[in-house]
Structure 1
Amino acid sequence: MHRRMFLMSSAGVAVSALAPASGVQAADEPADFHIAGILAFSGAYGIIGKDMRQGVELAVADRGGKVLGKPIRVSWEDDETKPQPAVQKATRLLAGGAQMMFGAVGSASTLALQGLADQRKIPLLVTISADDKITRTNGSRYTFRTSNTLGMEIRMCVEFAKVKGLKKIYGVTADYQATRDGWDLFVAEAKKAGIEIVGNDYAPLGNRDYSVIVDKMARSDADGIAVIVTGNDAVTFLKQSGQVGLNKTKTQFGPVLQDETLAAAVGPAAVGVYSGVRYHFTVDNPANKKFVEAYRAKYNEWPSSFAGEAYDGISWWLDVVESTGSWDREKWVDAFAKSTRENSLEGKKVMRGCDHQAAQVGLWGIVIEGQAPLPPLTMKITDVFDASKLFDVCS
């Protein structure tokens, strides 16, 4: 069902994505600019893919649907929140002439696509996956991330716990390498701050029953609950913790725990939950105001973090491609590695040449009951962390 819903036409183009990237002549220009969009439309992170697609589609529409004088075509595929389908479907689209990849949602899928990008010398744009290994010093030449790293979000979690005065933390962590690494970092940073870890449980992706974990949390003397899960798993956890009133006795927070999309799925139990926010529609700058107005007009809803980050990243990428005036992918990569996005939806973003990670501010907020015309459950941004406090120096 999802594949029929999200797969777009993949008519052939005039040049193969496997052709040499350099020295492309005008006669070799493709018929269109073909993007392989590999996202999760099902599985644990399926709730995220729709919003990301909408963000990309609006970004394409905003530029008249063209780049380098050619129409932009995006072929969407569902990776089912799994690495193997991600690589299989991306490989098929690259064989059909895609000049770049966009995605994925889960970091495991993105890391698998990164290997393909390096092998085929095809750019990969990441706007949501947060595993720190995706952008590492002297890492992938062809991968760029314009959104948050898990490391910066974990640091925000620790800063929040310190400011909130939390003394004892019980955690629940998705049993997934990126989030396991995130929990390890949280533990190390929390201990430095004198915060005690009283427990942690790992839960499989797609977990349907958190009752045992929630019961242990309720019985513990923890005053804070660190929830390092997201997507449908975050929705399930918060619904079940809300059923027993955990939200009334302990502070629940996490790196990507809530935004308006996820809060709507949780319901009233989301109120009072704290979370890192990768993008928010209330950021006060001209670019964001214009985007929010256009997004609401097109989709009749407020843009989520996932939609905003997707729009912001792909807009930045397409502008840089346009600036090169070339179909040489190596020139795109070189230009993007040195680029700055002055008019990002979140403020200025600078692409770091050492690891291809965008340096940017970090947003933190709490779910509150929204007043019309805001969503019934909305994020109130409470803190903005400067990039200098969230990223190590680029060496």
Structure 2
Amino acid sequence: MACNTSETIKINRRQSMRQMRRRSLAVACGLALAGASLLTSLGAQAADPETFKIGGVVSLSGSYGIFGEDMRKGVQIAIEQRGGKVLGKPIEVIWEDDETKPQPAVQKTTRLISDNVQMIFGAVSSASTLAIENLVKQRKIPQLVTMSADDKITVPGGSRYTFRTSNTLGMEQRMALAYTKDQKLKRIYGVTADYQATRDSWEWYRKEAEKAGIEIVGADFPPLGNRDYSSIADKIARSNADGVALFMTGSDAVTMVKQAGQVDLGKTRKIFGPVIADETMAAGVGPTSIGVNSGVRYHYTEDNAANRTFVAAFHKKYNEYPSSAAGEAYDGMSWWLDVVEKTGSWDKEKWVDAFANSVRDNSVEGTKSMRSCDHQAMQVGLWGEVVAGKPPYPAYVMKIVKVYQPNEVFEPCGKI
């Protein structure tokens, strides 16, 4: 029988195509199995990682750069006091400098999340913190805030994943207003860093002060990071103000108070602000810081067992007393890690649920309770005055002159 060459070629072609389909199917199955295996491996890794990885985004440069290093020190003590582990795994912290700017904060947080951190710690500037908050909400990564004070960070119905264990600007501006009234100040000159959070805080204070019959005789809004306040200090000196309200912090507060001292403003007027002063500021300013009043977020003289233990450990390691930034960082991180340990789980959603309803009985500031409505810690408000220190304390220290109870400085959630 003669062979039909054309038919034979068609048959061979069909057989070849069937073989190719079988091979493609085999490859696809193999890839699917490999992918499933990889996902299983990654799932196991996520469920039981080798380390508990924390991404720390703080200011190590810029206007708020003086806070970042102290925050790192506070976190380090919190980790060391628990043997460097949580859930049986070593704790690793990856630190990033956001330069006190939102854009680098987001970029570096994104990189940290890609590096599989279990949580984000930071930032310092409220603008950076709010930018990070939007990112971690999308990525479902917990964020711990121990420094930024803008009220918008913790609001009812806000981010499920962001928690603040430190003060709000709202509580600090209420203390500043109370100080104004207690001192019977009648004429205020305000100096506010040109920054949204501080502008909002000043605007609230201005309205409430005017309602109380207090006159605002002048106001200036120098840029964040301003280096020359001499013209502002001169205007205040020529005004009839009996009080100078400074809505600023960090290097801005240091520069302003130092230059105010050059024209002896502190001798003729009360200088105060929601959060301008602590030992870090006083050390930067020197003797002209004496008499300045401010809200204080934490102080090492708080007399309770938890704080005594922390202060002793901090002083032993760094040969100095902890600043507000260090104390708040230590307190917040200790609280967070304790809650994570109690869950016994690597499920971040369980951490978030547990922290939203937690109470810190052994806070270095007494007792703090987390409000589930807005993820803001209820706590006392401290008001202090810079005085001359005596050995072994620094040359200039904050003396706590008044303690406000939580219900005096926080609005109930339903009224926010």
Which residue is 2:338 aligned to?
Answer: 319
Which residue is 1:230 aligned to?
Answer: 249
Structure 1 residue 269, shift from structure 2 partner: 1.0
Give the TM-score of the pair, scaled to structure 1. 0.93
- The amino acid that maps onto 1:389 is E
Structure 1 residue 25, shift from structure 2 partner: 5.7
Of 223, 233, 237 in structure 2, the residue corresponding to residue 204 of structure 1 is 223
Of 70, 76, 90 in structure 2, the residue corresponding to residue 71 of structure 1 is 90
Which residue is 2:24 aligned to?
Answer: none
The alignment covers a number of residue pairs equal to 375
Of 247, 260, 272 in structure 1, the residue corresponding to residue 266 of structure 2 is 247
Of 295, 303, 317 in structure 2, the residue corresponding to residue 298 of structure 1 is 317
Of 146, 149, 158 in structure 2, the residue corresponding to residue 139 of structure 1 is 158
Which residue is 1:268 aligned to?
Answer: 287
Post-superposition Cα deviations, 1:54-101, rounded to whole Å, max 9, x if no partner, equal 000110010000000000000001000000000101111110110100
Post-superposition Cα deviations, 1:274-296, rounded to whole Å, max 9, x if no partner, equal 01000001111110011111110
Give the TM-score of the pair, scaled to structure 2. 0.89
Structure 1 residue 192, shift from structure 2 partner: 2.4
Structure 1 residue 261, shift from structure 2 partner: 1.1
More helix as a share of residues: 2
Structure 1 residue 362, shift from structure 2 partner: 0.2
Post-superposition Cα deviations, 1:302-357, rounded to whole Å, max 9, x if no partner, equal 10000000000000000000000000000000000000000100011010011000
Of 186, 196, 208 in structure 2, the residue corresponding to residue 177 of structure 1 is 196
Which residue is 2:308 aligned to?
Answer: 289
1:146-225 pair list within 5 angstroms:
146-225=165-244
Structure 1 residue 374, shift from structure 2 partner: 1.2
Q: Secondary structure at the match of 2:366?
A: coil
Unaligned runs of 5+ in 1: 1-18
Say which is worse superposed, 125-134 or 185-194, in terms of deviation.
Answer: 185-194
Unaligned runs of 5+ in 2: 1-38
Post-superposition Cα deviations, 1:210-237, rounded to whole Å, max 9, x if no partner, equal 1111111111111000001100010000
Structure 1 residue 27, shift from structure 2 partner: 7.9
Structure 1 residue 111, shift from structure 2 partner: 0.2
Post-superposition Cα deviations, 1:106-137, rounded to whole Å, max 9, x if no partner, equal 00000000001101000000001000000001
CA distance in 1, matches of 2:112, 2:335: 23
Say which is worse superposed, 329-338 or 28-37, in terms of deviation.
Answer: 28-37
Which residue is 2:51 aligned to?
Answer: 32
- The amino acid that maps onto 2:286 is G
Post-superposition Cα deviations, 1:12-53, rounded to whole Å, max 9, x if no partner, equal xxxxxxx99xxx768831110110100000000001111000
Pair member with larger Rg: 2
- The amino acid that maps onto 1:76 is W
Post-superposition Cα deviations, 1:249-279, rounded to whole Å, max 9, x if no partner, equal 1100011111111110111111110010000
Tell me if 1:372 matches 2:402. no
Which residue is 1:98 aligned to?
Answer: 117
- Aligned residues: CA RMSD: 1.4
Q: Secondary structure at the match of 1:349?
A: strand
CA distance in 2, matches of 1:28, 1:220: 64
Post-superposition Cα deviations, 1:189-226, rounded to whole Å, max 9, x if no partner, equal 21222211111100111100011111111111110000
Please identify runs of 4+ aligned residues in structure 1 that moved more than 3 A: 24-28
- The amino acid that maps onto 1:204 is P
Q: Secondary structure at the match of 2:362?
A: coil
Post-superposition Cα deviations, 1:147-192, rounded to whole Å, max 9, x if no partner, equal 0000100000000010011111000001000000000111122122
CA distance in 2, matches of 1:168, 1:225: 9
Which residue is 2:17 aligned to?
Answer: none
- The amino acid that maps onto 2:374 is D
